[in-house]
Amino acid sequence: MSLHKPVLLKETVELLNIKEGSIVVDATLGGGGHSREILRKIGEKGTLVSIDADAEAIKNFTEFPISNFQFPNNFQIPIFKFQNVYLVNDNFSNLGAILEAASIRKVDAILADLGWSSDQLEGRGMSFLKDEPLDMRFDSNQKLAAREVVNEYSQEDLERILKEYGEERFAKNISRKIVEYRKDKIIETTGELAEIIKSAVPEKYKHGKINSATRTFQAIRVEVNGELDNLEKFIPKSIEALISGGRLAIISFHSLEDRIVKNIFRENAGGCICPKNFPQCICGKIPKVKIITKKPIVPEEKELENNPRARSARLRICEKI
């Protein structure tokens, strides 16, 4: 297992105002870097709930083998309880049910790092840098994998997800090439897919700052894991779960994620939406949060030198009113 470097660790933990005895949710355990620092801050009197859809992430976080999850709850959510830590094998979009299953009503702070740890990338067909089977699943138990998306989606649907989730300007050409190729042979590996993409884009695009396959791979991964839909569900549930004065921190890694975070924060920070000419408010809408980061926090140069993968990270934080 490689050494995972958590992104924006110091800034995130400090701005979450975590103290000894705090109840904190790390909604995306990943390599566990943030969770370990949170545990150090909250001490033995605090409580940490660490969530990940990837069971391997949870097994790697513990210093002992987990054969199964035995914490009893009415929701049948896989939870392993050890000392003051709840390790939960579920998607963070189910936050409300997870906390209820653990008999936790409100929490002091919530963190979600939407990036992938290096270990989670291994062997899952996430990258075009290695020739691996097309998979891309966070949760190995779910049915939909990249292989089905690439080989079974219509050309129109492929073009749509490449545009929406990858912001790929050559989506039409790439989707057409994929459909043409699979008429003769099932596309089974990341290497095959990367070559198809390469053949579909102009020569100049092949030598740009990012690999020509980057946006397509991102789009397929987002589709497979329902990443944007889950994020849209997670944020309102997180705000609801916080105590007054509690904070939510989200680290995003591409513009689609960051836009969702920014927009939902703004929606929940806004008050009355009645027309200005109304004599009094009838909508009853009041702000639920205040935004702590007017602009997203980005990694400093020193962090980027030690961890180039952090270059696209954006941290936004809001506080429950």
Give per-residue pLDDT as tens, 175-229.
Answer: 999 999 999 999 999 999 999 999 999 998 888 888 999 999 999 999 999 999 9
Write the DSSP string, 157-204.
HHHHHHHHHH--TTHHHHHHHHHHHHTTS---BHHHHHHHHHHHS-GG
In the chain, what are the helix, strand and coil shares in percent, each to the nearest 5?
45, 15, 40
Q: What is the pLDDT of residue 127?
A: 87
Report phi then psi at 108, rounded to 5.
-90, -30
pLDDT tens per residue across span 273-296: 888 888 888 888 899 999 999 999
Average pLDDT over residues 113-141: 85
Tell me which of 3.40.50.800, 3.90.1150.10, 3.40.50.150, 3.60.20.30 is the CATH number of domain 9-119+227-320.
Answer: 3.40.50.150
Question: Which superfamily is assigned to 121-225 in CATH?
Answer: Putative methyltransferase TM0872, insert domain (1.10.150.170)
- The helix (run of H) or strand (run of E) holding residue 110 is strand 107-113
Asked whether residue 301 carries a pLDDT value surpassing 80, the answer given is: yes
Q: What is the pLDDT of residue 141?
A: 87
Per-residue pLDDT band for 1 (boundaries 50, 70, 90) equals very low
Percent of the chain exceeding pLDDT 90 equals 75
Q: What is the CA radius of gyration of the chain?
A: 21
Are 9-119+227-320 and 121-225 equal in CATH topology? Answer: no
Q: What is the mean pLDDT of the chain?
A: 93
Average pLDDT over residues 127-139: 92
What sign does the CA torsion over 74, 78, 81, 85 have? Answer: negative
pLDDT tens per residue across span 61-113: 887 666 666 778 888 899 999 889 999 999 999 999 999 999 999 999 999 99
Q: Where are the domains of the chain?
A: 9-119+227-320, 121-225
Torsion of CA 235, 241, 246, 251, to 10 degrees: -30
